[in-house]
Structure 1
Amino acid sequence: MFPKNAWYVACMPDELADKPLGRRICGEKIVFFRGADAAVQAVEDFCPHRGAPLSLGFIQDGHLVCGYHGLVMGGDGKPVSMPGQRVQGFPCNKAYPVIERYGFVWVWPGEAALADPAKLHHLEWAERADWAYGGGMYHIRSDYRLMVDNLMDLTHETYVHASSIGQKEIDEAPVKTRMEGEQVVTSRFMDNIAAPPFWRMALRGNGLADDVPVDRWQICRFTPPSHVLIEVGVAHAGHGGYDAPAEKKVSSIVVDFITPETETSHWYFWGMARNFRPDDAELTASIREGQGKIFAEDLEMLERQQQNLLEHPERALLKLNIDAGGVQSRRIIDRLLAAERAVGAEAAA
């Protein structure tokens, strides 16, 4: 159901401040911790002695110590020592490739030999001082692909987010879907409309009038395995919309990294990167708070949707033109899964 030979966001750096972190990713139980050089390490969250979760232990001298009987585990998955015992014959744990970059910790849950740092999704805005980022994380009890569907079709904003970013013009504006290599792009442009509450707040935050007509845009980009980045913004009407000069608009990138946990649950890392007033910490906090409330509304809808789908597995779902982005994204995921299965079958033969 989820490709494993890919980079997923595992956690944010502050989750690894002073103790191990256990997290299931793509069905794999993994424990993350910082080694002696502060580099993030990741190994199977299973003590080879009695099967206790290593994530319930602690870190000592750059090693992970099991909190049950004191077995010491290295970041390479090899047992190092244990009080009064010889551990040389103990089986090794699986170790996972990890990269800390762009303000996130990324993990490759599949075949370690295939992990290529060059395949990590490049985030140009995360390396630039003229951009600011604020975000958070939710645990959602639904198939991660439902979140991909949700983000690649923003028609739901009119209904789920009526008090913040939704407006009827989203329904009325045509949506276009296209492929750019292995990337799916859906776009919607709305001209000469009123800005909804969230965007009025953003206009004020950038020192712009919030009571004038605006041009609004939404450009959603799905990149495998499950990343969705959305260019969003509004500009004072009549100044070029998406291409308006910076002093006439507020624009940003909605960041959505969706990491499968199980077949019916996922970790959702959300945030917004913006290139206006990047040094304004108060504005960052305000936008983050607003986004957090918006995404909490998605959480309830997706979890209830998942319950319905589990209760009615025989029901066929409709596919409309607004679903094209999600449909194309799922086709890419299916191709990746088929390729991994073929490689596994070949290896087993």
Structure 2
Amino acid sequence: MFPKNAWYVACTPDEIAEKPLGRKICNESIVFYRGHEGRVAAVEDFCPHRGAPLSLGFVQDGKLVCGYHGLVMECDGKTASMPNQRVQGFPSIRSFPVEERYGFIWVWPGDPAKADPALIHHLEWAENPEWAYGGGLYHIACDYRLMVDNLMDLTHETYVHASSIGQKEIDEAPVNTRVDGEKVITSRFMDGVMAPPFWRAALRGNGLADDVPVDRWQICRFTPPSHVLIEVGVAHAGKGGYEASPEHKASSIVVDFITPETDTSIWYFWGMARNFKPEDQELTETIRVGQGKIFAEDLEMLEQQQRNLLAYPERNLLKLNIDAGGVQSRRIIDRIIAAESESDSTLIARSAS
């Protein structure tokens, strides 16, 4: 259903600032917490004593203490101690590779031996002081691939987001889709249009007139396992569009990290990074709130879509030219899953021989 030998965003640092966090990732129940010297750790959310969730416990001296009977767990999944008990024979629980980077905590739910931190793709906007970022988290009851479809085809903006970023010109502009290795890029450019409400506000936020024609762009980039970064923006018409100088445009990167919880639910880490007026915290919060409302408009549609697909599994869905980005992204996901499955089968065969 989803690749496991991959880095997924598990949570943000603030979520484990006060206590452990239990979260299911790719059908794995995991507890995240800060262990020795404040380093992030992740182990199965399962106490080897009586099966209680370790996430209901607390951290003491860099170790995770079960909130049921006081069993103390090391970051590597081995039991360190338990009141009045000898723990040498206690079974270990699974630990997971984790990395804290770019303002997120990443987890590798697959084979730990393959967990190379260098595979976390570089996020320039997260390290460059010329950029500002604001975002949030939604839990959505849908297959993660439905969200990938949604983000790789922005035609729905005209209808789902009519009051914020939608406009009829989105329907009318041709879509270009290309595959670059394991990445999929879809792009749409609209010249000489009037900016919709969200982008009028962004123009004003950058000190630009909002009542003149603009050139608008949307460039969606899918990277496996399920990350979509979208370059979006508007520039005063005739100033170069996507290539316009900063003083003539308002542009951003829509950040979408889609982490499967189960086969039919996701943790959706959303946000927007911008490279104009990064020091303006009030503008960052205004954009974050506005963006959050836009993303919330997708929730009901995706969850109802998921219910329909579960109710009618025999139905074949149409694949149109506007769906090419999602279709190509799914093909890449399928290839990765198939390769993982083949690798697992080979290991099993070798073990049996």
Question: In structure 1, what is the equivalent of residue 346 of structure 2?
Answer: 346
Partners in 2 of 1:18 and 1:71 — Cα distance? 20
The amino acid that maps onto 1:299 is L
Question: In structure 1, what is the equivalent of residue 124 of structure 2?
Answer: 124
Matches within 5 A, 1:230-241: 230-241=230-241
The amino acid that maps onto 1:98 is V
The amino acid that maps onto 2:63 is H
SS of the equivalent of 1:80 reads strand
Question: In structure 2, what is the equivalent of residue 323 of structure 1?
Answer: 323
Partners in 2 of 1:247 and 1:180 — Cα distance? 31
Partners in 1 of 2:86 and 2:325 — Cα distance? 56
* Alpha-carbon shift at residue 49 of structure 1 (Å): 0.2
Question: In structure 1, what is the equivalent of residue 149 of structure 2?
Answer: 149
The amino acid that maps onto 1:27 is N
Question: In structure 2, what is the equivalent of residue 274 of structure 1?
Answer: 274
Unaligned runs of 5+ in 1: none
Matches within 5 A, 1:189-228: 189-228=189-228
SS of the equivalent of 2:70 reads coil
* Alpha-carbon shift at residue 125 of structure 1 (Å): 1.2
SS of the equivalent of 2:37 reads coil
SS of the equivalent of 1:87 reads coil
SS of the equivalent of 2:49 reads coil
1:159 equivalenced with 2:154 (yes/no): no
The amino acid that maps onto 1:231 is E
SS of the equivalent of 1:149 reads helix
* Alpha-carbon shift at residue 181 of structure 1 (Å): 1.6
* Alpha-carbon shift at residue 279 of structure 1 (Å): 0.4
SS of the equivalent of 1:300 reads helix
* Alpha-carbon shift at residue 212 of structure 1 (Å): 0.4
Matches within 5 A, 1:64-75: 64-75=64-75
Structure 1 stretches of 4+ moved >3 Å: none
Post-superposition Cα deviations, 1:52-93, rounded to whole Å, max 9, x if no partner, equal 000010111110000111000011101000000011111111
SS of the equivalent of 1:37 reads helix
Post-superposition Cα deviations, 1:6-32, rounded to whole Å, max 9, x if no partner, equal 000000010011100000000100000
Partners in 2 of 1:195 and 1:135 — Cα distance? 23
* Alpha-carbon shift at residue 121 of structure 1 (Å): 1.5
Post-superposition Cα deviations, 1:113-139, rounded to whole Å, max 9, x if no partner, equal 110011011101111000000000000
Post-superposition Cα deviations, 1:192-229, rounded to whole Å, max 9, x if no partner, equal 00000000000000000000000000000000000000
Matches within 5 A, 1:277-296: 277-296=277-296
Partners in 2 of 1:212 and 1:19 — Cα distance? 50
SS of the equivalent of 1:256 reads strand
The amino acid that maps onto 1:190 is M
Partners in 1 of 2:89 and 2:169 — Cα distance? 66
Matches within 5 A, 1:163-174: 163-174=163-174
The amino acid that maps onto 1:322 is I
The amino acid that maps onto 1:42 is A
Partners in 2 of 1:201 and 1:221 — Cα distance? 25
Give the number of equivalent residue pairs: 349
Partners in 1 of 2:255 and 2:234 — Cα distance? 17
The amino acid that maps onto 1:310 is L
Partners in 2 of 1:272 and 1:209 — Cα distance? 22
* Alpha-carbon shift at residue 95 of structure 1 (Å): 0.5
Question: In structure 1, what is the equivalent of residue 332 of structure 2?
Answer: 332
Partners in 1 of 2:114 and 2:3 — Cα distance? 13
1:256 equivalenced with 2:268 (yes/no): no
Question: In structure 2, what is the equivalent of residue 108 of structure 1?
Answer: 108
Partners in 2 of 1:39 and 1:279 — Cα distance? 29
Question: In structure 2, what is the equivalent of residue 299 of structure 1?
Answer: 299
Partners in 2 of 1:298 and 1:106 — Cα distance? 25
Question: In structure 2, what is the equivalent of residue 85 of structure 1?
Answer: 85
Partners in 1 of 2:246 and 2:32 — Cα distance? 41
Post-superposition Cα deviations, 1:19-52, rounded to whole Å, max 9, x if no partner, equal 0000000010000000120010000000000000
Partners in 2 of 1:304 and 1:297 — Cα distance? 12
